[in-house]
Structure 1
Amino acid sequence: MTITGPRNAPDVVDVVALGESMVTFLPSRPGRLADVPSFERGIGGAESNVVCGLAAAGHAVRWVSRVGADGFGDHLVGAIGSCGVDVASVRRDPARPTGVYFRTAGDRGTDAHEVAYYRAGSAASAMSVANVDLTVVRAGRVLHLSGITAALSPECRGLMRELVARRPGGPLVSFDVNHRPGLWRDTDGPQVLLELARHCDLVFVGTDEAEAAWGVTGGPEAVRAWLPEPRVLVVKDGAKGATVYQRGKGEPCRPAAGGGGPVALPGPASPSVTFVPAPSVTVVASTGAGDAFAAGFLSATLRGLPARDRLRHAHLFAAATLTAPGDLAPPPARGHADRLAALDEAAWGRLRLGPGWTQAAGRADEEVRTP
């Protein structure tokens, strides 16, 4: 799977991401929201997390969204822009606020974890085909989207359907299912997510999401049987690892934005399946790890790396976030990640990553040790 495109075309970047980002309030100590006395401000948003990770890895990226004409909107645009992301296409909405949310310090996957969203009627929920510059959104070699945007409003769902529709001049469309049951006010959320995923070129989904949304059990193979349409399907299976399914050469692909040649997704000569186990990681916080995983896979894809290395880079980007307290963490330097991705199978299996590992470049005794 190789992405080619009009690298030198005006305003064309490697990746464009569209979606809502919110100001996040992180607790000053563990405990229930009712008991936490104070919070620290951060930022959170699946799509902006992905492009922030890609920018840190040296890619040209753009974030497209809407925020309120308020201080929280100022903070979001400034913080994401400071990561090296082009935010010139973010629009201000004077009538709607920037979304915010509060969360506890616990793991999102536990019953004790709490999240309180204040995003209903937000500026981003009003994104639509009518008020988003589709030319700017499509001016990338890759367009990255997630299922969260589709859950925000009927207008957002219409925009998502427009963006995933196959038409000449469109970028490669990457889609992270990101099933969030609490965001859907009706019961057709799983069907909408399935519809969108089936129209995309590259799809990320977890086995847990596939089971929760669609009742698919049986592991990655069952997920691929359920989703045969994407040219590339990445199925995440928690701490076990991830599997990438690629269709073979000779199938049609989208032309690149700007008419500069095809976005090639040739893959291998015949359909292939590649599994890469996740390294052992000392987890500090899991929020944002899925976004980092997508950023790592896209970064390696833009570089034309083989399937195994794409998954290894995805795991390494995710590990950088898992071993840091916030939603965003700098990925390992490219040379450092490349050295780890090139390890033989035995050495990769011995990899142990803990807090600070991204700063251990060149210190193999800290990166790889035998249990």
Structure 2
Amino acid sequence: MSASRSAGDGGERTSASRPVTGEPVGAAEATVSWPPADGPVVCVGETMAALAPEPPDSLETGESLRVSVAGAESNVAMYLADLGRAAVWLSVLGDDPFGRRVRAAVAATGVDVSGVRHDPGRPTGLLIKDPGPTGTRVHYYRRGSAASALGPGILDDPAVTSAAVLHLTGVTAALSPSCRELVERALATPPGERSYAVSFDVNHRPALWPEGTAPAVLRDVADRADITFVGLDEAQRLWGDELDAGGVRKTLPGPRLLVVKDGGRAATVFGEAGEVTVPALRTEVVEPVGAGDAFAAGFLAGLLRDGDLPRALRLGHITAASALKVTGDHGPLPDPATLERLLGLTSREWAEHA
């Protein structure tokens, strides 16, 4: 499956009367520095073993299945490590071959997995992809998985207390009552009193939610994070078909930074200093799964690098393009020289790649 992505306008747009990296009012009294200090990003959530036939085969016709790993939070951690950021992944896996394979695969990218535990009584979750001419269907086998028993106690891990950013997603909030409690505890402390910034990707997975429950829960959680990521299309499905990026900001006024991703067109970040929009890179799409996680990792890496929001959005787009070019969730980044060249383009030059 191949598609061309392009942005609808030219270069970056910013509507800010103050520097976008300025410290918010009252931040001097906060425990967490803003933008977040240069420290590790701790990602908490389930990662599954993933099976998929090689395209264009489907599950019904394929002769063999490729084994990989799939998990929103570990995807973010792996891309952060690729980008040279200190990243920690915390989770629970089954004490089984899939669990050991998942842990080894994540560790191989440079992510700290020392806090990952293995549960002898519950299995590692399993995901099976079924490529087709209209897209890839995903079948989940995760009920009763080891990670579904995650709870707020995992936040007592020493890695969390030393984190610059704690990254969570809406997938975790949907897995079980104890997983919901984990997310609630992470957000229970008011933003100005947290020792780390909380990053939250809405990552709405309708199949995981009881009918009608996701919109209110995800809106509440997303609005209490310091940094929130949401796709415009998923925001429209959750909170109203008529929403545009500005409408999403009105729906979620709480985050210090709200990043609204408009598919292959552009991404906009809303902050106290205004809003910045950067068009997406034109990219051949092999499979879209994992691109949102890659974007979040790129943006967080850019934010931690120097707080420059236009560059953070660019790094998000560059990282997302790496995921779009492969059938798995984790694709190779451009070499460092190419990456720096892209980040250093003028707005007009960037627009020529969009």
TM-score (norm 2): 0.86
- Partner Cα distance (1:40, 1:85) in 2: 23
Separation in 2 of the partners of 1:184 and 1:123?
A: 19
Q: Which residue of 1 aligns with 2:131?
A: 105
- CA distance in structure 2 between the aligned counterparts of 1:285 and 1:113, rounded to whole angstroms: 8
Task: Give the equivalent residue in structure 2 for 1:114.
Answer: 137
Which residue in 1 is equivalent to 2:104? 78
For 1:7-156, list aligned pairs within 5 A. Answer: 13-106=39-132, 110=134, 113-130=136-153, 133-156=156-179
Quote the offset at 1:214 in angstroms.
1.6
Match of 1:192 among 209, 217, 220: 217
> Could you say if the C-alpha distance between residues 175 and 120 of structure 1 is closer, same or farther in structure 2, counting changes exceeding 3 Å?
same
Q: Which residue of 2 aligns with 1:183?
A: 208
Deviation at 1:277, TM superposition (A): 0.8
**Residue of structure 1 equivalent to 2:283:** 281
Give the deviation of 1:104 after TM superposition: 1.5
CA offset digits 1:89-118 (Å, max 9, x no partner): 0011111000011011248xx4x5321110
Deviation, structure 1 residue 166:
2.2
Instruction: Tell me which amino acid in the other structure corresponds to 1:3.
Output: P
CA distance in 2 between partners of 1:95 and 1:272 (Å): 50
Give TM-score scaled by structure 1 length: 0.82
Q: How far 1:131 sits from its partner (Å)?
A: 5.6
Secondary structure (helix, strand or coil) at the match of 1:136 reads: helix
d(CA) in 2 for partners of 1:335, 1:280? 19
**What is aligned with 1:322?**
324
Q: Post-superposition shift, 1:132?
A: 5.5
RCO higher in structure (CA 8 A, sep ≥6): 2
Give yes or no for contact 2:236–2:243 (8 Å, CA) kept in 1: no
From 302, 305, 312, the counterpart of 1:303: 305
In 1, Cα distance between the equivalents of 2:269 and 2:122? 40
* 1:236–1:201 distance in 2 versus 1, CA, 3 Å: same
Gaps of 5+ in 2: 1-20, 22-33
Runs of 4 or more off by more than 6 Å in structure 1?
none
Q: For residue 223 of structure 1, what is the aligned residue in structure 2?
A: 248
- CA offsets per residue over residues 3-33 of structure 1, 9 Å max, x none? 354x6xxxxx520000000000011343443
* Equivalent of residue 206 in structure 1, options 231, 239, 242: 231
**Quick one: which amino acid aligns to residue 149 of structure 1?**
T
Deviations 1:246-272 (A, max 9, x none): 11xxxxxxxxxxxxxxxxxxxxxxx31
Distance in 2 (alpha carbons) for counterparts of 1:228 and 1:146: 18
The AA in structure 1 aligned to 2:325 is T
Q: Name the SS of the counterpart of 2:152 in structure 1.
A: coil
1:242 to 251, 254, 267: 267
Q: Give the % identical residues.
A: 43
Equivalent residue letter for 1:326: G
- Where 1:105 maps in the other structure, the secondary structure is strand
